[in-house]
Amino acid sequence: MRILVTGGGGFLARGMAGPLAAGGHTLRLMDRAVFETPHECVAGDVAVLDDVRRAAAGMDGVVISHMAPREPNAYATPDACFRINVTGTANILFAAQELGVKKVVIISSTGRKPGDAAAWLATLPIQGEGLYGATKECQEVLGQHYAREHGMQIALLRVGYIVDADVMKDKYGRAVGERNALDVDRRDIGEVARLCLEQNHAGLRVLPVMSTRESFFEWGVRVTVDTLSWTPRFDFDALPSDQTQNG
């Protein structure tokens, strides 16, 4: 398959690239500027429809992984974060539908968990906090809309707290010293995204993606394991347990 990854230069996308390309898939990474990578890389703004149309042309699937930067001001007012996260996602789904690209994976988040794991998985959209959370809610609604209205195959991946398990650091370079139920290595997310694109199914799927043993019960990750025959590779078992949930 030919797979477009938006936000291709970001923390998550850089870790997903290897597992996504496994099995002979070809990647096109889109970000605001080109960067050094063995994969095809295109510059563009997801909020500009023609940039997205160019990036999505000739693709078989898309992974939406861009986000407005977590800089102090990016989420202080709605303009930048809604332009990038929401209009950007709407542009990609619109262009994909226009171009006949049927399979899309949207990187979502966990938000708050109302009730148990089953209730949380049935809650659509997630209940996000602040303007960041509001944009993630909108992304889930857009995915649901395109699955229902256009019969597209959409997977919403509700990912936890993303870690590079090789160095036990998060996207800001902060050390991860304790195991939190939400922890997940970015390569495991890449593998889940690839499995989603390789499968054929109708409509919308909501899948939690974390990889600690606690997450199987607390966040319903067993659903993802069973649906995709996925085996998480990074369990964070070597870390002492933390009681808080900080995804």
Ligand X SMILES: NC(=O)c1ccc[n+]([C@@H]2O[C@H](COP(=O)([O-])OP(=O)(O)OC[C@H]3O[C@@H](n4cnc5c(N)ncnc54)[C@H](O)[C@@H]3O)[C@@H](O)[C@H]2O)c1
Sites of contact with ligand X (CB under 6 A)? 6-7, 9-13, 31-32, 45-47, 65-69, 84, 88, 107, 109, 159, 161-162, 171, 247
**Which residue minimizes CB distance to ligand X?**
10
Spatial contact of 212 and 164, defined as CB atoms under 8 Å apart: no
Is 133 or 195 the residue whose CB approaches ligand X more closely?
133
Cα angle, residue 243 at apex, residues 237 and 246 outer, rounded to 5°: 90
Is 175 or 202 the residue whose CB approaches ligand X more closely?
175
The amino acid sitting at 182 is L
Query: What are the backbone angles phi and psi of residue 11, rounded to the nearest 5°?
Result: -60, -50
Whole-number Å distance between alpha carbons of 106 and 171: 19
Is 103 or 185 the residue whose CB approaches ligand X more closely?
185
93: region left, alpha or beta (phi > 0 left; psi from -120 to 50 alpha): alpha
> What DSSP assignment string belongs to 199-222?
S--SSEEEEEE--SHHHHHHS-HH
Is 2 or 171 the residue whose CB approaches ligand X more closely?
171
CB of residue 8 to ligand X, shortest distance in Å: 7
Is 114 or 151 the residue whose CB approaches ligand X more closely?
114
CB of residue 213 to ligand X, shortest distance in Å: 19
> What DSSP assignment string belongs to 133-185?
HHHHHHHHHHHHHHHHHH--EEEEEEE-EEEBTTTTB-TT--B--SB-TTEEE
Is 17 or 162 the residue whose CB approaches ligand X more closely?
162
CB of residue 119 to ligand X, shortest distance in Å: 20
CB of residue 229 to ligand X, shortest distance in Å: 24
Nearest by Cα to 184 from 206, 155, 156, 164: 164
CB of residue 172 to ligand X, shortest distance in Å: 9
CB of residue 154 to ligand X, shortest distance in Å: 14
